[in-house]
Structure 1
Amino acid sequence: MTQGKSVSTMAMMFVVVGNMLGAGILAVPVNLCAAGFWPSVVATLAMWLLMTYTAIIYSDQKSLTTNEHADLPTFFGQELGPIGKWVTIAGNAVLLYGVLVAYLTGISSIIMSLQSSISQPVVMTIYFIVVTGITAFGMIMMNKCTPYMVITMWITFGMLVFMTVPDVSSENLAKLDWSYVPAGLPVLLMAFHFHNIIPSISRALNHDRKKVRFAIIGGTTIGLLMNCIWLLVVLGALPLSAPNGIDLITAFGKNQPATIPLGLLLKTPVFSYVALVFALIAMSTAFMANGTALMSFMRDLTATYLGTKNKFLVWSLAFMPPLLVGLIYPDIFLVAINLVGGVGECLIFGILPGFIVWKYSKHGSFKKITGIILIVCFSAIFLVEIGQELGLLHISPDVEYWSHYTHK
């Protein structure tokens, strides 16, 4: 392997990490807070295995990775028929719109926790204008900037961990309740989301299967380690519930990223501003990738069903709905991430790849069994999320109960 090729592979691994570390890592400790540290780590390992495997399945689909104009609805339409096509369209819409809403509401919430002179709608709109402007450069900008942005993310992440470690308590880490794990699984799926860019990674590495797998497994493993470290410091430093409201349950009830209650706990301006830099880079990198994917998705839909690829129409359909939802419902950060993971991710990057493996594997083979396992696991997460959204299941922490319990 030449040095140039090695750098190219490492660069694509950075792209994987940059796309994973968006809103998910900031939401995971808050959504899994009631489960506790060790159950959360076990769940994170399980989701890492499942999502890495489905990513490898995607990378092996030559009809998807070799054609620069291929799109997911067409691919699954050809492989699984009309049902596969329309499930993909619905799931992709929920996924891509949802992640952009999460980024807009997450960033604006963090900025609002640092100042009150500028209103949240103005903050959100300014961030929207900047990040959608950068997204116009697409994959060219992302490939050039992502390695530097990921390095900056690691530096700021390390600073956040270093400042939080002194407050980690073994008493906080000892608490656990496995019954709350299912409620956090959709957010964990979001924390390992990068599958949209797999075709681009494959083409960048000249479809070298070994190198593509190295980039995928290496990138997701780095993401796994960062998520586990983040779970350790957040769940160890913040109490589940506290009379002063600086706790994980309050953050969960307010749909806040984990950095907001940590900033209140540490009372160090440096932490809050480093957390802002980390969140801005992490979410903006992911916004660029998902925004590019959403424009491509909308371009395919408008060309197919409206007979036009008008750039202004495509841009408006891609970016205006998330902005409007964010402005109307600015406090839905965790809600948006749950819908993305529990519906969009489960359908497109879990259940459908499972059907692909099941369809093309020999009867009775181990690989066919893994396809069935994927279908069952992701279908269970999908049903849990739908049950929670419809009010049929109540497995998330009861904010009112914990608040009452703390003040007793």
Structure 2
Amino acid sequence: MKNKTFGSALLVAGTTIGAGMLAMPLTSAEMGFTYTLILLFSLWILLSYSALLFVEVYQKAERKEAGIATLAEQYFGMGGRIITTLSLVIFMYAILAAYVTGGGSLLAGLFDFLGDSAKPISIILFTIILGIFIVISTSAVDALTRLLFIIKLVAFALVLTMMLPLVKSENIVAMPLKDFLIISASPVFFTSFGFHVIIPTINNYLDGDIRRLRIAIILGTGIPLVAYILWQCATHGVFPQSQFIEIINSDPTLNGLIAATYQATNSKLISSAVRIFSTLALITSFLGVAISLFDCLNDLLQRINIRAGRIGLGVLTFIPPLAFALFYPDGFIAALGYAGQLFTFYGLVLPVGMVWIARRRYPDMSYRAFGGTIGLVIALLLGLLIMCVPFLIEAGYLPKVIG
């Protein structure tokens, strides 16, 4: 029993830690380490709370293996199912687009001799090579992911081992250069705590045991929080803020992060370790999201009696994010920001709405998430604010996170 709980916590942690953490230093360069910590803790509390709201709702689920779209239909009817499914599919497309642009930019460093053609060719190669594993089978994706995940952990440990001793106190205490950056960066950071799509899986795995599900969520989100703090400490502490901002503004991609690492440490070993870790984080995240989107599209088509075949599903899965990456090759941060908007609805606004109805429909529920009605209202308001952030940035009411 305990092993299942711990295994579920690791599943939560593994789903949470991904390519989103790579964007953290890019979007928080002007924010400083102190405000970055505040944002990390705030979003950890908020998204752990929203996950516990799902736990509360699952007490009255018609089936313990019910998906979140099924729960939405239970409380909001078919309209709720449709909106939830659409938000999930578009979210996965958006975050897949971010991974393709990020992976393409990292791979482009190997093809500098191609000049301006390096980036589009790298984006296409990144998508096709990894897409082949998706089309072959889920077991092929599983085998590749297991191998790369182990290497990724080793690379991350190596990066921290080499960078943390180089942290300087004057870099750590750097303050924000613009007001309200902590709000502007929230959608990108929001995606870094996104694991809610697997709650139905672990709820079924734990046989609907509410207590063990709560432990798995708290422990499973605590592991990424520690990893994120160490990662942010390493980057903010090693990079002088002014130098870091200058490099990032000139190259707002993951290559900019690697270039900043080299300039700050003057070590090809450290910058190469950061490149390896970044590449593996992107690939493992890409594979996880891509196979989820692949299966989701398959289920949707089967509901309307269309059989597309694995190659057809592969085309539907990868053409939209590939097109985005080719037209916006530097759109890594932008795509993550829009993904954060959609995930905010799916991972925060939706569970607040379901719990609001559930507490009135089922007043006898044995478990209720902390905070009462006030907690629901605060979570809803914060969710709506985060969803509006990209529009507020575009309108000039909030500063851009880069530039």
Give TM class, smaller chain: 0.7 to 0.9
**For structure 1, which runs of at least 5 residues remain unmatched after alignment?**
400-408
Aligned to 1:27: 23
Instruction: Tell me by how many angstroms 1:249 deviates.
Output: 4.8
Aligned to 2:241: 240
Is the Cα–Cα contact under 8 Å of residues 249 and 402 in structure 2 kept in the other structure? no
Is the Cα–Cα contact under 8 Å of residues 240 and 264 in structure 2 kept in the other structure? no
Is the Cα–Cα contact under 8 Å of residues 15 and 143 in structure 1 kept in the other structure? no
1:336 aligns with 2:335: yes
Structure 1 pair 317/94, CA: closer, same or farther in 2 (3 Å)? same
Structure 1 pair 260/61, CA: closer, same or farther in 2 (3 Å)? farther
Structure 1 range deviating more: 126-135 or 355-364:
355-364
Structure 1 pair 250/280, CA: closer, same or farther in 2 (3 Å)? closer
Is the Cα–Cα contact under 8 Å of residues 168 and 236 in structure 1 kept in the other structure? yes
Give the alignment partner of residue 101 of structure 2, picking from 105, 111, 121.
Answer: 105
The alignment partner of 1:361 has SS state of: helix
**TM score, norm. by length of structure 2:** 0.85
1:254 aligns with 2:255: no
Structure 1 pair 233/316, CA: closer, same or farther in 2 (3 Å)? same
The alignment partner of 1:396 has SS state of: coil
The alignment partner of 2:240 has SS state of: coil
Aligned to 1:290: 289
Is the Cα–Cα contact under 8 Å of residues 18 and 282 in structure 1 kept in the other structure? no
Give the alignment partner of residue 49 of structure 2, picking from 53, 74, 78.
Answer: 53
Q: How many residues align?
A: 386
Describe how 1:215-234 pairs up with structure 2 within 5 A: 215-234=216-235
Aligned to 1:307: 305
Structure 1 range deviating more: 346-355 or 202-211:
202-211
Instruction: Tell me by how many angstroms 1:345 deviates.
Output: 1.1
Question: In 1, Cα distance between the equivalents of 2:355 and 2:26?
Answer: 34
Is the Cα–Cα contact under 8 Å of residues 183 and 384 in structure 1 kept in the other structure? yes
Structure 1 range deviating more: 347-356 or 153-162:
153-162
Structure 1 pair 65/103, CA: closer, same or farther in 2 (3 Å)? farther
Instruction: Tell me by how many angstroms 1:332 deviates.
Output: 0.5
1:338-362 CA-to-partner distances (Å, cap 9, x unmatched) read: 1111x11111001111111222225
Aligned to 1:176: 175
Question: In 2, Cα distance between the equivalents of 1:231 and 1:262?
Answer: 13
Instruction: Tell me by how many angstroms 1:61 deviates.
Output: 4.3
Structure 1 pair 13/136, CA: closer, same or farther in 2 (3 Å)? farther
1:254 alignment partner AA: D
Structure 1 pair 139/60, CA: closer, same or farther in 2 (3 Å)? farther
Is the Cα–Cα contact under 8 Å of residues 51 and 350 in structure 1 kept in the other structure? yes
Give the alignment partner of residue 359 of structure 1, picking from 357, 360, 374.
Answer: 357
Describe how 1:188-227 pairs up with structure 2 within 5 A: 188-227=189-228
**For structure 2, which runs of at least 5 residues remain unmatched after alignment?**
none
The alignment partner of 2:241 has SS state of: coil
1:174 alignment partner AA: V
1:159-215 CA-to-partner distances (Å, cap 9, x unmatched) read: 112222343222222122362100111111111112222222333334333333333
Question: In 2, Cα distance between the equivalents of 1:207 and 1:260?
Answer: 47
The answer to which structure, 1 or 2, has the higher relative contact order (CA under 8 A, 6+ apart) is 2
1:23-53 CA-to-partner distances (Å, cap 9, x unmatched) read: 2111112212222111110110010111122
Structure 1 pair 49/310, CA: closer, same or farther in 2 (3 Å)? same
Question: In 1, Cα distance between the equivalents of 2:378 and 2:50?
Answer: 12
Is the Cα–Cα contact under 8 Å of residues 248 and 402 in structure 2 kept in the other structure? no
Structure 1 range deviating more: 220-229 or 47-56:
47-56
Is the Cα–Cα contact under 8 Å of residues 107 and 126 in structure 2 kept in the other structure? no
Is the Cα–Cα contact under 8 Å of residues 239 and 261 in structure 2 kept in the other structure? yes
The alignment partner of 2:305 has SS state of: coil
Is the Cα–Cα contact under 8 Å of residues 105 and 122 in structure 2 kept in the other structure? no
2:74 alignment partner AA: Q
Aligned to 1:154: 153
Is the Cα–Cα contact under 8 Å of residues 55 and 216 in structure 1 kept in the other structure? yes
Question: In 2, Cα distance between the equivalents of 1:105 and 1:220?
Answer: 27
Structure 1 pair 260/307, CA: closer, same or farther in 2 (3 Å)? farther
Structure 1 pair 199/280, CA: closer, same or farther in 2 (3 Å)? farther
Aligned to 1:403: none
Question: In 2, Cα distance between the equivalents of 1:307 and 1:352?
Answer: 28
The alignment partner of 1:14 has SS state of: helix
The alignment partner of 2:400 has SS state of: coil
The alignment partner of 1:210 has SS state of: helix
1:333 alignment partner AA: F
1:144-167 CA-to-partner distances (Å, cap 9, x unmatched) read: 776665443332112112222343
Instruction: Tell me by how many angstroms 1:230 deviates.
Output: 1.1
